[in-house]
Chains A and B, each alone.
Chain A
Amino acid sequence: GAGVSQTPSNKVTEKGKYVELRCDPISGHTALYWYRQSLGQGPEFLIYFQGTGAADDSGLPNDRFFAVRPEGSVSTLKIQRTERGDSAVYLCASSLTTNREQYFGPGTRLTVT
């Protein structure tokens, strides 16, 4: 079946603008995760959902970052008032349940100019 998909694949935005990044998980996966990866680093956890609720948002860097998963499937990561330091690849992953392996999408490369 289809894997995790993310759109857009690339996003260039100006400092101060608002962006939304979308993740479509594997069908039937109840857990969904967002990570951020900078060049030469490992993925850094942001937030994860179990169903529709955010079960752990301890990795969100500040209140400019917010994520939703209203119907327990697709998720959107929202970043307000973007800063140059937000530039990174944003990865989404899903798993059947929280104790199973995570499958990653190809990521969205965000560049803030």
Chain B
Amino acid sequence: GQSLEQPSEVTAVEGAIVQINCTYQTSGFYGLSWYQQHDGGAPTFLSYNALDGLEETGRFSSFLSRSDSYGYLLLQELQMKDSASYFCAVRGNQGGKLIFGQGTELSVKP
């Protein structure tokens, strides 16, 4: 089968750094994406890794290790508005179909 594992909940304080891990087991792999979703909102694209290494976009960074079937999202200088659900998603074939994890609910406390 195909599965992605990520923690269900993470809590951190404003200004801190938090890392959300994702391990995957899929029949094909063409890249790992991260999406943010606020309550009642649409998933919003954050980052994409097709190759091993770190991608940095402002306060957010994403890392991929294909040999370990593992990636993470790093959020720095946390703000209250970062409280949301974060999903990792694997692109399993050339067609763009995304397989999502169950999501990590991030709560940022003052």
Contact = CB atoms under 8 A, between A and B. Distances in A.
Interface stretch (B11-19, B68-76, B98-106): B98-106
B72 to A, nearest CB: 17
Interface string B27-43: 00010010100000111
A7 interface: no
Contacts of B43: 43, 91, 93, 104
Interface residues of B, number: 24
A44 B89 CA distance: 10
Contacts, number: 65
Given A50-B95, A99-B96, A101-B45, 7 more contacts: A35-B98, A48-B95, A56-B93, A98-B95, A99-B91, A99-B94, A101-B48
Interface of A: 4, 31, 33, 35, 40-45, 48, 50, 55-56, 58-59, 91, 93, 95, 97-107
Interface of B: 4, 30, 33, 35, 41-45, 48, 87, 89, 91, 93-103
